[in-house]
């Protein structure tokens, strides 16, 4: 019940205060430039990294990015810039 109330409050505040949904709902913000760059903000940490995949922890679930020749260009506590050839971006809810 409390979870539904919080969700309604977040939606109301987002709509009436004109705040971005990613800020109010603690969602990741993902910016892609073609298939070569992906910038992810508001994640909870790096779980795995290899040349072909990266897995990030989110508030709810995980984010999996698959591709080739991945290089982390920038990493900060809640932001990451990844370069390479991106083929898939997948939300994992399990």
Domain coordinates in residue numbering, the chain: 26-92
CATH topology of domain 26-92: Immunoglobulin-like (2.60.40)
Say which DSSP state 42 is in: S
- In sequence order, the 6+-apart residues with CB closer than 8 A to the CB of 93 are 60, 61
| Sign of the torsion formed by the C-alpha atoms of 67, 85, 56 and 61 | negative
Query: pLDDT per residue over 26-51, tens digit each?
Result: 789 999 999 999 999 999 999 999 99
Looking at residue 27, what is its pLDDT?
86
Q: CA 52, CA 21: separation in Å to the nearest integer?
A: 30
pLDDT at 78 over 80: yes
* 68, 61 Cβ separation under 8 angstroms: no
Give pTM, 2 decimals.
0.75
Widest distance between CA atoms in the chain:
45
């Amino acid at each position: 019940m409390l979870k539904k109330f919080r969700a309604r409050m977040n939606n109301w505040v987002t709509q009436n205060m004109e705040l971005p949904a990613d800020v109010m709902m603690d969602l990741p913000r993902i910016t892609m430039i073609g298939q070569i760059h992906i910038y992810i903000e508001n994640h909870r940490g790096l779980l795995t990294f290899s040349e072909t995949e990266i897995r990030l922890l989110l508030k709810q679930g995980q984010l999996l990015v698959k591709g080739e020749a991945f290089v982390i260009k920038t990493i900060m506590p809640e932001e990451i810039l990844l370069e390479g050839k991106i083929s898939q971006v997948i939300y994992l809810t399990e």
